[in-house]
Amino acid sequence: MRSLLFLISTLLMGFAEAHTIQAIKGGKALLTLDGSPVQVGDLFQVMDLTGTEAAQIEIRQIKDLRAVAYITKGELTQVPEGYQLNPLPRSEATPPAPEKTPAPEKTYTIVPQAKGYYGGLSYNQVNVGLTNATTLNLTGSSFNLGMFYERALTRQMQVLARAGYDGLKASGSLTSGACGGSNNCDVEIGYVNADALVKYSWYHGQKTWWAGGGLGFLFPLLKKSNVLDTSKMTLSEKIILAGGLNWALNNKEFVPVQLEYALQPSNSVVSTQQMILRVGYGTNF
C-alpha cells in the first residue's frame, strides 16, 4: 500500500515539477531542469520506488536548463528507476564532513636553563716551527669529556658554558732526528678546559639548531712531548666557532650534538687547530 501511495504521489508531483536526472558519474549528477526557480546550493532528496531516501544532492552549477549536482549523502552509481526529487530545506541537509587538518608539528617548551654532560672526539693539527726555519706538521686524534650549563638570554640567544677535560694528541716524523734524537715526533697534552659561547638558535619541531662562537682557556695538566719544551706550557686561550642541535626527547630531556672548530692562536713556535665533535645528554630546569 505504501508503495502504491508513493507511486501516485510521484505521478501527481511530476505534473508540478519534473527536474530529471540524466546521468550519474563520479559522485555527480547531471540534471535537466523544468524551468522552475533553482539556485546554486539548493538541496534535493532522491527517493526510490519504496519511498526511501537513496541520496541527497546539492546544486553546484547551473547553465540554462542544465545543472550539475554533487551527491552529498548516500551513494548513486546510476539513475534510480522510478525516482522522485523532493526539495529539501538547507537546514535539513546532512552537513559535509569537516576537512581534516594536519596535526600540528610537535613542539617543545623553551626553558631558561639547562645542564648536562658530554663526551667526544677531536681531530688535531699541530704546527711546530723548528730552528732551521722549517715547519713540522703533526696530526692525531684525542677524546674529551665534561659538563655544560646553558642559560637563555632571549628566545633566540643563549649562553653556553662548559668545563672539562680536552685531550690533544698528535704525531709526525722527520728524517733529521730533530725530535730528541728520534725521527718520530709527538705531542700529548691533557688540558683542563673552560669556555663560553654565545649561541643563536632557531627551532624546527623537536630540533633546536644553533650557531655561535666564543672563547676558552686551557690549562695543561698532563704534558708529554719530544718536540716541544713542556716546561714552557702554561695557560693558553682558544677561539671557537661552533654549530649543532639540541634534539628534544621530551619537554625536559634532550641530546646535544655539537661540531666546532677551535684555534689556539699561534706564537713564534707552535699553533694548534682542532675539529671537535661532542655528543651528550641534557636536562631543562
In this predicted model, what pLDDT tens digit does every residue of 215-268 receive, in sequence order?
A: 999 999 999 998 888 888 899 999 999 999 999 999 899 999 999 999 998 676
DSSP state of 182: B
| Predicted pLDDT of residue 132 | 67
Looking at the chain, the domain(s) classified CATH 2.40.10.170 span 2-92
CA distance to 32, 263, 283, per residue, from 216 (Å) = 83, 10, 23
Q: Is 12 left (phi over 0), alpha (psi -120 to 50) or beta?
A: alpha
| Predicted pLDDT of residue 25 | 87
The residues pairing with 46 across neighbouring beta strands, listed in sequence order, are: 55, 85
Is the domain 2-92 a CATH 3.40.50.720 member? no
Residues 6+ apart with CB under 8 A from 28: 68, 69, 70, 71
> What mean pLDDT is predicted for residues 125-147?
87
Which residue matches cell numbers 686524534?
A: 141
Res 6 pLDDT > 60: no
Is the domain 113-284 a CATH 2.40.160.20 member? yes
CA distance to 137, 138, 170, 217, per residue, from 141 (Å) = 14, 11, 7, 20
Looking at the chain, the domain(s) classified CATH 2.40.160.20 span 113-284
* Dihedral angle, C-alpha 189, 193, 195, 200, nearest 10 °: 80
Q: How many CA atoms lie within 13 A of 15 on its CB side?
A: 4
Joined together, the cell numbers standing for residue 215 give 672563547
pLDDT digits (tens, 9 = 90+) for 144-201: 999 999 999 998 999 999 999 999 999 998 776 667 778 889 999 999 999 999 999 9
Q: How many CA atoms lie within 13 A of 134 on its CB side?
A: 8
Pairwise CA distance, residues 213 & 160, whole Å: 10
pLDDT above 90 as % of the chain: 46
